[in-house]
Amino acid sequence: MPIQRAKPVQQLYEEVSEYELVLTPDAPLASAINRRVDVPQFGTFATTPRRFAAGRREQAEDRTAFLEVVQQTDHDWKSVSYAIGNILQCWEHQGTIESILEYDAYVDEVTRDVVDIMADLRSTSQSLTECTIDTESVAVVGGEQLTTLEQSVLPDEYDQIELFTAESFAYPSFNIFDSSADIVSAILDTVTPDTAENVAIVLDANSRYSSLIEAGLEAADIPYYGGPGFIDNPHHRAFLNLCRTAFRGSETTVGDVKPTLTQMGVDVPIDHDNKRLFEVDLPATTWVTEFCTSLSDVTFSAALTEYASETGEPLDAFREELSRLGLLHSRVRQHKINELTYYFQTYEVPVDRENEGVLLADAKSSGYVDRPVVFHLGIDEAWTHSAPQRPWVDTDAQFQRYLNQFQLLLQSGVEQYYLVQDTQGGQPVTPCLYFNELLDTDYERFSDLNAVRHRRSYDTDSTGFEKEPIDVAPESVEAISQSSLNKYVNCPRDYFFSRLVDNPDQDYFVEGNLFHDFAEFYVNHPDAVDAAVLNEIIEVMLTEARSLTSDTDEPLRRRTYRIGLETIIEYLDAHGPAADDFLTPATGWGNNYFADYFDTPVDSPLTERWFEDTALGMKGKIDLINSPNQLLDFKSSRKKSKRDVIKQSAIDPPHDTPNYQAAMYLCHFRTVQPDERLQFTFFHFLETLDDVIAGDANLDDTLTTVTYYPWSFDEHIRSRTAYKTLLGGYNDCVETFEDLGFEAYHDILSERSFPDSTVKSELRESDFATSFTSAVKKHTSASVNAEKGCDQAIRALNGIRKDSFFKSDLDAIEAFVADRITELNEYRRGNGRFPVDGLGGEPNYRRVDNRDLILTEVSND
Amino acid sequence: MTEPTPNSQQRQLIHSTDGIYVVDAGAGTGKTFAVTRRYARIVDQPGVEPEDVLLVTFTRSAATEMKERIVEHSTYSLRELTEGSIQTFHSHCFDLLREHGHHAPTHLGLSERITDSTRVVEDDLLENELFAEFIDGFCDDHPEYADFFRVLSSPRNLLNIVSELASKGIFPTSTGWYRNGEDALDGDFDAFKRLFEDSNQPRNGGSKQSKLRGKLSRFGRNKTYLPDAPAKSEIRGSRTKQVPDSVARRVFEEDREDLKAFIHDIYFEYLDFALSRNYLTFGFLQLFAFVLLCEDDSLRDRVSFEYVMIDEFQDTSEIQFKLALLFAETDNICVVGDWKQSIYSFQYAAVENIREFDNRIKRFTAELNADRTRISFDIDDSTRIPLTENYRSTQTLLDFSEEALVTPGSKHDDVDRSVLEEIDSLSANAAFDNTHIEGIAHADQHEAVLSTIQDIVGAEAYAVEGDDGEPRPPEYGDIAVLTRTRDFGRELLSVAEKYDFPMAYDGGIELFRTNQAKILLAWLRILTADADRGWAVVLEHAGYTLDEVDHILDTGAYPDNMIAFRDDLRERESVGAVARAVFDRYGYTGEHADVILHTIQSVHNGSTQTLGDLIRYIERGIEQGSTHDIYTSAGVNSVTVQTIHSAKGLEYPIVVLANMNAGKFPPRGGRSGVIQFTEPLGIRQRKTYASVADHPHVYDNWRHDISRHCLSRDYDEERRLLYVAITRAENHVIFAGGEEPNTFFEELPFTPRPTDTTIDAADQPTTTQAQLPFSIVPSDGPIGHTPHTLMDSDVFATEEIHMESVEFRGQEFGSRVHDFAEAYALGEDVSPTTSDADDEQHVKAFIDSLPGDLHVEERAVLPLAVDGEQVTVSGIVDLVHETPTRVEIIDYKTDQTRRAEKEYCKQLSVYYHVLTDCFPEKEVTASIFYTATNERQHIDPLSLGQLRDIIRTVEAGNDEDE
């Protein structure tokens, strides 16, 4: 069958104009008829059965019934609303309130109670049941669209007026767009605030179109029917969420309540986000903590009063609704909050709002819209109704109602525009399944039907904001710290933001700092720490970290602290600094937690030694100058190998996780101790935690030491040190070079230069390898395998290079740092934005702190 | 459109409607065609209606496609099918629960209910948030489980366990485990023993130690075991090639009562939590549907089907298999799938469902019938039907694709070549076979891929099949780039953008890591908290330098244009409108912006989240990289980029399988959870907390370090993904790797293809703005007015000044008095409220004083012709008092001044003329009743001519506005 032509409203009016009362299935259709009256009318003319029976004050009867039942019974709210839903629907389809009792599967104690209560309640369904029409001449338009209950009000005699004519409706072309964005923008290009009253938009209320249209209209200041409901009120939400917080438990963080606090107008600095709410002592959270702690002792009413006095928001409507629900004077309980949320999810609490402008109609709940211009959006599968899955619904009759409704909707308005997508993600969009019944053409998708394709292009002039003039002089960076450089090299934009904004405190930072402070304290005052003091320190650390960690983990943290501290003590006792007379005294820098705690100053020049070397462009803080040749850094993280340390200081290209600490500190240290072999040691004091538990810890396992040689690699390999390394290597290597002797070794290498490459295969194939091997062969006896020995030696020497810094390495680092400083000062002066990509290309996002702030260069559109 | 005639295998499937059938439907073998024809044939039998047939599909869109095709080929119309059951497991379960599931939770001992407003949470981010909230409370309520929490690094592990157990049909009850669920948790020693023995066979005829013993040479390395753990030598045995037999039992036997109790309580209480919050997950939909069908025999009888067909059976989970049995009333069960294409194990698909169909159907039936008969039909006799005639690819491709199933995924991967024996080889139907199977590897892999595509487009050598069946040179639209992981597609797309290369992305992206989401986040922060983290972003974007931003943040002297925009945003009521305004400002008009807007608006609508919560939601989205589906459009003729998973069921003439790199395909494995459920081991923990020596500690579980080698993780599913990718292609496949190609790339037998990275700037036709054919026309009937549209609103505008003064009592007050007046006049049982004011007392006294008939709140409609135009003014009259001789119109006003009286006069005049017309024999008067002062003010009505003048003026004003 084709789409049946609906009768124009004018024709309908002419057919019904002589009647006293006209009943229609939809209220908008009734209004359209009423608008066409040509003689003055007093009293009801065209209306729906429901309105006729219930009068103008028709209310959402399910909610009214719900409010009544929860006041009168103790049944749980979900069962009550379930019963009410079934009863009303069954009533609608079967005509009496008792009909439900014939469906055993849906009858229980709650249902019976609800039936009893509702039987005495004034509701629309009740009015329909009781109402009889005594008007003499009644016309019913589209009577087949009325449900059993609605039909029950009809008088014995009335005239039936058809909704449709015998002709078919020549539907307009489908306007096909590429995307929902295009459809919405096409509408926004057409509708203005002034024409809004003439326009209706029909769409699936749950679809993306709905979000986009409402947002688009609101952003364009075009009025429309709808808008925020009762539970959209941010204070209503905040109050509910606040009540929930009280029952969330001890792990609740400041960050968890921050949205609520923000809504209440309370500002909490970001540092505290990860801290546990009930373990922090902040002025900003005092109120909320107290509110939560005492909540289960007070009534909703008292809680509202509290909230209101804190925020200045009276929340009268909320209070009234709680009162209607009989909750106002109940104690606040978790299940009450759940029930309350359920209520708001299930029922719409009426709010006063201005309904004007564009009419938004849900494709599945409207039957007719009374506007001259109607846009139909999508018209896809989502427009297909599914009949209520209940045994009392006559699905065939219901299907016919839906089909008629759909046809009427498609023809509403003087002009209808169908705006659709033909494909989504390469897949055809399925047109609403009713077309299958209504169109004789064979089609799979909209483009198979009468359709016009539109392409939209956007003026993308708007790209944000013009910069306004501002008089701020750029500052120049003269020296950079290792952590800043690491960040800058990985992602300059991340560096940019790290200079500007704070991040939340983290447990591992707090713990790491305490360990560092302890180490410094212990270097200064080894005698001050005995068993009792150590216990005290552990307790102090636990307290300091408590707000950032879980109580459950306390025994494990206690273990970690003790083992970490004892390992630090063990190391410092065995290998700590012997003297400090090689250094000039330095003024203390920063605070030491334990120095303050024990009121004992730490003033050794060896610890936490600050340097800022503007010639090098480097600055930093050395944890411990352990000897004239050794710097030490305390690390609570996992151990890295020497090779990793060297690799992470690569500059061309930089490593995936760049780390220039050792290199930079050695650059500085070599200015203090020139021409010396220097060492930088990372002391990973938690590395052996598992071994301590197992009883086989070895202090050496905690240490990673890289060496700086103040000469070139070529100079180094001809040294006795390097030669000795070869004598400690693989068999053939040892034999070959013992046989060769140091002098010959030195001479051979003095004439040669080791290749730049560190790749094994390239080394093997290099000219150096060939000439080195032949020279060694020449000077060694036939009893040794010089070929193999040299190969092993080259690998061994290469190994030294990969484990150490040589003069040229640090020279290169110095140049690299200088270049970076020049570069970043250029950015600071506004010559280009700080780029997102680091020197190694796309940043390693695991090392980026401010990912949420970094816009990439890709347009994404 | 003409459909082909079925081939003999398809015919067998279409005609064999009764009995159990397992259909091995290879890629491109016309499965949908055969299944829909079979459905049509079933329902065309006398006495069989669509409602007797259940057809389960993998996705909602597949269900729609099936429906459409069935309608075309059966005598049934959509009317019958819309109520028929062609849908996914989830939606079928959802419908079942909506209709019958209210009490379903009681079968597990839960007192909560499933309701009509119960939501299904599909968004992982949201579920994680909710679960985290649940766990916080659980921790507090159950200090006895602290030891378990100490070993867990993230509670999300527990959510995975819960979901996995649900997918296997293992559920908790208030008192223990549902049915035989505990058996599965305990595991099956005999089955484990077999696996243990398999991996413990000495190799090379007994000269080489077993795989297991070899792997155990690293036993205990970097591990800390409890002191009672056996020594490595004890585990490996000495002077032997095998691990001692007794180790199997030592490994398996472990006291897990506490662990089970812990998992039970988490699971049970989480179910209760979810229901109390009125939501379900996909997994829980199936769980409750299963329980309902298991417990309620009469319901099962009513809702079961005479015919059950399940598509994509290779991707069903264990519980879905069991549900299928419960949905079946007879043995007319047909499962259709291809084990070679099973790629959803991360969604708990069990490839064994199809590979071991006969075993499983027996086992599951026995389980379901353990206490009483639920499955009453005979399940012993199943027939296999292979579909092997392929309508998609060339024979060269089909032969090649089998190789994928035995290609190692890593250097040390043991491939079981015997799977080749299980394959029903496909035979091609292609018009010609000019297939190229080639590989490229280049350090600049994105550029290399694009450059290669450009070389191929238009090249005769890479001809594809045209509509006429003849070869034609390929176009961009013929090509799909498929990748194993998502990130590469996004990168490729951004490189393509630089060259205006026609390419569209299809599938999931990390939505919140886009610029659109981050800019929106910045403005939301500016509107709420963390304003610095918002301002810094928008200032940087606008080009302010570091020192300038620093200064602005310090002083709060934000630029005027941004302040103005912020103030404008503050006026917006919905988060969607805020998002729209931000996106418009930044020129973000595409799909990404729309998906973000809709996602956020939906989260807001479906919850009680505030703006601040939405900020956290976006932040989490950035952290976790949660994905959402988007479809970018680059015109019709463009290359599609998608993941292999999202290409399931699709086909393309040419497939480029990109990012064939080490660590990317197969992806580098993530860390496994501390608590794990595996078959046949049951529930286990990889680590335990104990305090046995000087310190408490989290110890490694030595048993795990042995058993894991017996359940070796292999790359079978990765190979199936490779197979799926290759079988998407009709004509050609190109593999593309970077600097470090993966093992697949190295092992697959394709031809290397020379490549470079030159990309020609594409010459894309620019699209022009089409003139939209839309116009806003006026109403066709009479112009509608109300008395209010005739009034001069200025008088009320000035009144707004008084809104805050005590004199003005607000609209709400007015409505209340009117409501009271209406109810009282209708004789309802209401009395004046005394608290506020005397207005209601006055109204009551006034109404009491009226002796005649009252018409309360009736409509009055006045049609007028104004300069040839029809106008209808309609309003509601508060009260009409009718006596034998008079009709009095009364309108209540709660105003405390008379300032608006002139305007009210217009309103009453309209009513006056209506009433005069309707009661020609009576005298009609009009008056205002001022409720505040208890005064009645008579009005001299305006003439019809004066009303027409007013309408003219109003209309003229409207025209001016337009």
The structure tokens listed for B214 are: 């070899």
Q: What is the pLDDT of residues A270-321, one digit of tens each?
A: 999 999 999 999 999 999 999 999 999 999 999 999 999 999 998 999 999 9
Burial class (CB in 10 A: 0-12, 13-18, 19+), B755: buried
- Write the DSSP symbol of residue A56: T
Do residue A458 and residue B589 have CB atoms under 8 angstroms apart?
yes
Is-contact A210 A216, C-beta < 8 A?
A: no
Q: What is the pLDDT of residues B99-124, one digit of tens each?
A: 999 999 999 999 999 998 899 998 88
pLDDT band for B705, please (50, 70, 90 cuts): very high
> For B279-306, what is the mean pLDDT?
96
Give domain status of residue B383, yes or no: yes
Q: Would you state the pLDDT for residue B399? A: 95
Residue B24 zone, left/alpha/beta (φ > 0; ψ -120 to 50; rest):
beta
- Write the DSSP symbol of residue A17: T
End position of a domain, from candidates B387, B420, B435: B387
Give domain status of residue B72, yes or no: yes
DSSP character string of B602-663 = HHHHTS---HHHHHHHHHHHHHHT-EEEEE----SS-EEEEETGGGTT--EEEEEE---BTT
For B541, the closest of A259, A386, A855 (CB atoms) is A855
> For B293-310, what is the mean pLDDT?
95
Considering the domain architecture, whether residues B546 and B477 belong to the same structural domain is answered as no
For B597, the closest of A211, A255, A260 (CB atoms) is A211
- Using a CB-CB distance cutoff of 8 angstroms, which residues of chain B are in contact with residue A194? 958, 961-962
Q: What is the pLDDT of residues A184-217, one digit of tens each?
A: 989 999 999 999 999 999 999 999 999 999 999 9
Residue B180 CB: number of other CB atoms within 10 A? 13
Pairwise CA distance, residues B269 & B284, whole Å:
13
- CB contacts under 8 A, B 374-413 vs A, are none
> For A475-491, what is the mean pLDDT?
96
Q: Would you state the pLDDT for residue B411? A: 84
Lowest-confidence segment of B235-249, B359-373, B821-835, B850-864 by average pLDDT: B821-835
Q: Would you state the pLDDT for residue B837? A: 73
| B853-866 and A41-42 strand pairing | antiparallel
Q: What is the residue whose two structure tokens read 């976006």?
A: B618
Q: What is the pLDDT of residues A409-422, one digit of tens each?
A: 999 999 999 999 98
Rounded to the nearest angstrom, the minimum Cα separation between A728 and chain B is 27
Pairwise CA distance, residues B715 & B705, whole Å:
20
Q: Would you state the pLDDT for residue B869? A: 85
Residue A610 has pLDDT above 50, yes or no: yes
- Write the DSSP symbol of residue B27: T
User: Whole domain around residue B356: which residue ranges?
Assistant: 8-105+284-387
- CB contacts under 8 A, B 282-311 vs A, are 299
Residue A293 CB: number of other CB atoms within 10 A? 11
Number of domains forming the structure of chain B: 5
Considering the domain architecture, whether residues B492 and B639 belong to the same structural domain is answered as yes
Q: Would you state the pLDDT for residue B70? A: 86
End-to-end, the C-alpha distance of chain B in Å comes to 50
Do residue B529 and residue A267 have CB atoms under 8 angstroms apart?
yes
Considering the domain architecture, whether residues B234 and B187 belong to the same structural domain is answered as yes
Residue B540 has pLDDT above 90, yes or no: yes
Q: What is the pLDDT of residues A762-771, one digit of tens each?
A: 898 999 999 9
Q: What is the residue whose two structure tokens read 């003039």?
A: A469
Is-contact B60 B30, C-beta < 8 A?
A: no
pLDDT band for B804, please (50, 70, 90 cuts): very low
Lowest-confidence segment of A363-372, B347-356, B542-551, B766-775 by average pLDDT: B766-775
Give domain status of residue B420, yes or no: yes
- Shortest CA distance to A624 belongs to which of A540, A715, A550, A517? A517
pLDDT band for A461, please (50, 70, 90 cuts): low
Q: What is the pLDDT of residues A619-630, one digit of tens each?
A: 999 999 999 999
Considering the domain architecture, whether residues B323 and B404 belong to the same structural domain is answered as no
- Identity at A573, one-letter amino acid code: D
Give domain status of residue B474, yes or no: yes
Q: How many CA atoms lie within 13 A of A235 on its CB side?
A: 16
- In angstroms, what CA-CA distances link A194 with A224, A356, B405, B790? 12, 11, 65, 17
Rounded to the nearest angstrom, the minimum Cα separation between B532 and chain A is 7
Q: Would you state the pLDDT for residue B802? A: 47
Q: Which residue of A has its CA nearest to B496?
A: A858
Lowest-confidence segment of A331-345, A458-472, A602-616 by average pLDDT: A458-472
The structure tokens listed for B466 are: 């045209």
Considering the domain architecture, whether residues B905 and B788 belong to the same structural domain is answered as yes
Q: Would you state the pLDDT for residue A244? A: 93
Considering the domain architecture, whether residues B513 and B621 belong to the same structural domain is answered as yes
Give domain status of residue B128, yes or no: yes
Rounded to the nearest angstrom, the minimum Cα separation between B224 and chain A is 6
End-to-end, the C-alpha distance of chain A in Å comes to 44
- Using a CB-CB distance cutoff of 8 angstroms, which residues of chain B are in contact with residue A427? 61
Q: Would you state the pLDDT for residue B813? A: 80
Q: Which residue of B has its CA nearest to A269?
A: B530
Burial class (CB in 10 A: 0-12, 13-18, 19+), B581: buried
Q: How many CA atoms lie within 13 A of A457 on its CB side?
A: 10
For B113, the closest of A82, A261, A341 (CB atoms) is A82
Considering the domain architecture, whether residues B685 and B648 belong to the same structural domain is answered as no
For A433, the closest of B82, B565, B696 (CB atoms) is B82
- CB contacts under 8 A, B 737-796 vs A, are 766-770, 772-782, 784
| A427-428 and A423-424 strand pairing | antiparallel
Residue B615 has pLDDT above 80, yes or no: yes
Considering the domain architecture, whether residues B164 and B90 belong to the same structural domain is answered as no
- Shortest CA distance to B732 belongs to which of B452, B375, B414, B446? B452
> For A512-520, what is the mean pLDDT?
95
Do residue A179 and residue B591 have CB atoms under 8 angstroms apart?
yes
ipTM over 0.90: yes
Give domain status of residue B114, yes or no: no
- Identity at B789, one-letter amino acid code: T
Pairwise CA distance, residues B909 & B940, whole Å:
8
A701 touching chain B per CB within 8 A: no
Q: What is the residue whose two structure tokens read 């919560």?
A: B613
Considering the domain architecture, whether residues B942 and B808 belong to the same structural domain is answered as yes
> For B302-319, what is the mean pLDDT?
96
The CATH number of residue B523's host domain is 1.10.486
Radius of gyration from C-alpha coordinates of chain B: 37
Q: Which residue of A has its CA nearest to B83?
A: A386
A567 touching chain B per CB within 8 A: no
Considering the domain architecture, whether residues B470 and B576 belong to the same structural domain is answered as no
Rounded to the nearest angstrom, the minimum Cα separation between B278 and chain A is 7
Give domain status of residue B760, yes or no: no
- In angstroms, what CA-CA distances link B702 with B22, B185, B245, B254? 42, 19, 17, 11
> For A530-549, what is the mean pLDDT?
96
Pairwise CA distance, residues B618 & A830, whole Å:
30
pLDDT band for A99, please (50, 70, 90 cuts): very high
Total residue length of chain B: 962
Give domain status of residue B214, yes or no: yes
Considering the domain architecture, whether residues B514 and B607 belong to the same structural domain is answered as yes
Do residue B78 and residue A232 have CB atoms under 8 angstroms apart?
no
> For A167-192, what is the mean pLDDT?
91
Considering the domain architecture, whether residues B219 and B156 belong to the same structural domain is answered as yes
Q: What is the pLDDT of residues B2-55, one digit of tens each?
A: 567 899 999 999 999 999 999 999 999 999 999 999 999 999 899 998 889 999
The CATH number of residue B737's host domain is 3.40.50.300
